[in-house]
Amino acid sequence: MNTNTTTFALPARVLHWLMAVLIVAMLFIGVGMVSSVSERHAWLLAIHKPLGIAILVLAVVRLAVRWRNPPPPLPADLPALQKLAAHASHWLLYALMLAMPLIGWAMLSAGGYPVMLGDSLRLPAIFPASPVAFAVLRHLHGWLAALLYLTFLAHMGAALYHGLIRRDGVLSSMDGRRAATAILPETVDAARETGDAEPGDPA
Amino acid sequence: MQKPAVPQPHSSRAASWVLIAAVLALAVAAIGCVGGWLAPHRLTPQKLVDQFQRNAGTFPGYRRNHAKGVCVEGYFDSNGNAQAYSAAQVFAPGRTPVVGRFALPGSNPYAPDSSVPIRSLALRFTQANGQQWRTGMNSMTVFPVATPQAFFAQLQAQQPDPATGKPDPAKLAAFFAAHPETAAFRAWAKTAKPSASYATERYDGLNAFFFVDAHGQRHAVRWHVVPEATKADSDAARAGDTDYLAADLARRLQQAPLRWHLLVTLAEAGDPTNDATKTWPDDRRSIDAGTLVIESTTPQDSGPCRDVNYDPLVLPDGIEASDDPLLPARSAAYADSYLRRTSEEAHLPGTAAMDAKARGEAR
């Protein structure tokens, strides 16, 4: 039977897939808008800023959910190096999904731009106006975006490796195929404490 | 997870690896496609700015176009007349501070003032609610071309021939022949003379925008400013003086502030909003929205306009971009120019080093 420690909590899974779509879309929007002089430049930029702030808010919510619902452990037989890579890449993803919107916001502040999320909603500046800071932050925004995309590729490649080749339940812990019921944090904690988790059927 | 791994049989493992590699390759190709790495002919902001540098050289720390100029400060006194058409705070009766910049088109910050007959005025209005309106205007009534692609072709045609140091007349002729929409601008340029003063010029926004009123109704508009000063000081442009515009402006401002009226022209049905080569008929209604008052000027190396990107798509609530294709291109190219000059300012690796002269002026 399915047990709660083999899957991520429902809010964690919903946030994961929602943010996956938003972050990947965001990277494509960013790359598209800086390489275009067409009307695409303007409308992609108009989406980029509010979407970035939405990702920042969701990342904070997600970390809170993760703190409340610890993720299932990796397979015990996973080589130590792969475990390390898994943990490091996850924390890198969390760091980047928090840092990218903040850097973008600080960069616009440093460039003296009003940070407009729409026609009339304006965020305050979070960095003093400075052309030097603008240039550094703008380049950082681009390089970290490339790093985020590479980390996403590694993450997706690893997920497929777990799902198709190792078939060790890591992919199904996030895709929700084995989660018949919504998981409450309390039951996760209870299951964790009793340690009575059982493997489910291979997805 | 206590679940033991159930590895795939060897036979289908290879297929799985191929599938994973294919998915990753597809993801790389997709972002490359969006980024234009697989479309080398796409016009990018970087290509536009590179062409400016190819035509006139690279002057580190300076704007890649309209490089020579001066900062000005003042305010806009709105009379409330445009309020019925735009809900922007700047049009409510009252005063909005302005940081502006007078400049010459072209990428050379040392170009003689008489080298081009065009002068420009860029303005940044900072509303009390923190929203901004930035606009860049020029002392002509039409733009030579209607699209970024045509503008790029024009820049390419203007690139100096290495043999002569001047644009190839045959290439220019071929460009104009292929772009009949340049006729109105060329007719204007034939009679245009470099003015002896920034103060006596009319500056035209050229691109159309939409004003949005309090009821959400959109009104297609263009704007320009007309000077109260009309008498150019003939002594200013005396022979041999290449920097008379900044001196004339400073001299006038020592006497009194300079004033322009902001005129907003309302389109009627059928007037093009996407073609800056075409003026609207003369009988279109214009509203005098208020007075632009310029009180002081400072050199651009130390003035408050230095670090401002006069991106025409920085707009307050109540003003929106039209479908003019030049607007996003200006916004994108200005952003690239701004990144280049601020990167040079920051001495980031890989940026052109600012020479002693440029550094001295930029500080």
List of chain A residues whose C-beta atoms are within 8 Å of the C-beta of residue B4? 75, 77, 168, 199
Q: Are A103 and A141 in contact (CB under 8 A)?
A: yes
- Kindly report the number of other CB atoms within 10 A of residue B269's CB atom: 5
Taking the C-alpha atoms of residue A108 and residue A114, their distance in angstroms, rounded to an integer, is 7
Listed range (A15-19, A97-101, A116-120) with the worst mean pLDDT: A116-120
Q: Does residue B281 have a pLDDT over 90?
A: yes
Average the pLDDT over B310-338 and give the result: 97
Of B20, B323, B329, the CB nearest to A161: B20
Q: At what angle do helices B326-345 and A39-68 cross, to 10 degrees?
A: 60
Helix ranges restricted to H, chain A: 10-34, 39-68, 80-110, 131-160, 172-175, 185-194
Is A111 part of a structural domain of the chain?
Answer: yes
Nearest chain B Cα distance for residue A31, angstroms: 5
The CA-based diameter of chain A, rounded to the nearest angstrom, is 60
- Kindly report the number of other CB atoms within 10 A of residue B232's CB atom: 16
Of A31, A42, A124, the CB nearest to B331: A42
- What was the pLDDT predicted at B241? 85
Q: Taking Cα atoms as reference points, which of B225, B208, B210 lies closest to residue B87?
A: B210
Taking the C-alpha atoms of residue A170 and residue A176, their distance in angstroms, rounded to an integer, is 11
pLDDT, chain A, mean: 87
Taking the C-alpha atoms of residue B108 and residue B55, their distance in angstroms, rounded to an integer, is 10
Listed range (A106-120, A185-199, B50-64, B200-214) with the worst mean pLDDT: A185-199
Contact call for B307 and A199, based on CB within 8 A:
no
Contact call for B42 and A42, based on CB within 8 A:
no
3-class secondary-structure state, position B29 = helix
B235 touches chain A (CB under 8 A): no
List of chain B residues whose C-beta atoms are within 8 Å of the C-beta of residue A76? 1-2
Using alpha carbons, list the distances in angstroms from residue B2 to A49, A69, A129, B12, B144: 43, 18, 53, 25, 71
- What was the pLDDT predicted at B351? 84
Taking the C-alpha atoms of residue A47 and residue A149, their distance in angstroms, rounded to an integer, is 19
With CA atoms as reference, the chain B residue closest to A30 would be B35
Structure confidence by residue, pLDDT tens digits, B123-178: 999 999 999 999 999 999 999 999 999 999 999 999 999 999 999 999 999 999 99
- Catalytic residue (choose from B66, B179, B215, B347): B66
User: What is the number of domains present in chain A?
Assistant: 1
What CATH architecture is B64-327? Answer: Beta Barrel (2.40)
Nearest chain A Cα distance for residue B290, angstroms: 23
> CB-side exposure of A195: number of CA atoms within 13 Å?
0
A138 touches chain B (CB under 8 A): yes
Taking the C-alpha atoms of residue B100 and residue B95, their distance in angstroms, rounded to an integer, is 15
Contact call for A119 and B317, based on CB within 8 A:
yes
- What was the pLDDT predicted at B352? 76
Taking the C-alpha atoms of residue B39 and residue B69, their distance in angstroms, rounded to an integer, is 36
Q: Within its chain, how far is the Cα of A82 from the centroid? A: 20
Percent of chain B with pLDDT over 90: 86
Torsion sign, CA atoms A134, A135, A137, A138: positive
A114 touches chain B (CB under 8 A): yes
The amino acid sitting at A187 is: T
Taking the C-alpha atoms of residue B165 and residue B168, their distance in angstroms, rounded to an integer, is 9
Residue B10 falls in the annotated catalytic set: no
Instruction: Tell the burial category of B339 from Cβ atoms under 10 Å away from its Cβ (0-12, 13-18, 19+).
Output: buried
Taking the C-alpha atoms of residue A85 and residue A72, their distance in angstroms, rounded to an integer, is 16
Q: Does residue B121 have a pLDDT over 80?
A: yes
The amino acid sitting at A10 is: L
- What was the pLDDT predicted at B359? 41
Helix ranges restricted to H, chain B: 10-34, 45-56, 148-158, 169-178, 183-191, 244-255, 326-345, 356-362
- What was the pLDDT predicted at A10? 92
The amino acid sitting at B285 is: R
Structure confidence by residue, pLDDT tens digits, A28-43: 999 999 999 999 999 9
List the domain boundaries for chain B: 64-327
A52 touches chain B (CB under 8 A): no
With CA atoms as reference, the chain A residue closest to B313 would be A42
Average the pLDDT over B44-71 and give the result: 96
Taking the C-alpha atoms of residue A2 and residue B251, their distance in angstroms, rounded to an integer, is 84
With CA atoms as reference, the chain A residue closest to B216 would be A119
Average the pLDDT over A99-120 and give the result: 96
Of B3, B323, B327, the CB nearest to A168: B3
- What was the pLDDT predicted at B32? 94
Q: Does residue A67 have a pLDDT over 90?
A: yes
Percent of chain A with pLDDT over 70: 85
- Residue A185 — pLDDT band, cuts 50, 70, 90? very low
Q: What is the CATH number of the domain that holds A169?
A: 1.20.950
Contact call for B42 and A114, based on CB within 8 A:
no
Contact call for B317 and A136, based on CB within 8 A:
no
Structure confidence by residue, pLDDT tens digits, B198-250: 999 999 999 999 999 999 999 999 999 999 988 766 555 566 788 999 999 99
Is A17 part of a structural domain of the chain?
Answer: yes
Torsion sign, CA atoms B327, B328, B334, B335: positive
The amino acid sitting at B142 is: V
φ/ψ of residue A65, rounded to 5: -65, -40
- What was the pLDDT predicted at A6? 82
φ/ψ of residue B88, rounded to 5: -60, 140
Q: Are A26 and A104 in contact (CB under 8 A)?
A: no
Question: Which residues is B265 bridged to in the sheet?
Answer: B222, B286
Torsion sign, CA atoms A21, A23, A28, A34: positive
Residue A172 in tokens: 């199904």
- What was the pLDDT predicted at A180? 38
The CA-based diameter of chain B, rounded to the nearest angstrom, is 92
φ/ψ of residue B64, rounded to 5: -80, -15
Taking the C-alpha atoms of residue B266 and residue B85, their distance in angstroms, rounded to an integer, is 9
3-class secondary-structure state, position B115 = helix
Q: Which of residues B10 and A128 earns the better pLDDT score? A: A128
B7 touches chain A (CB under 8 A): yes
Taking the C-alpha atoms of residue A140 and residue A134, their distance in angstroms, rounded to an integer, is 10
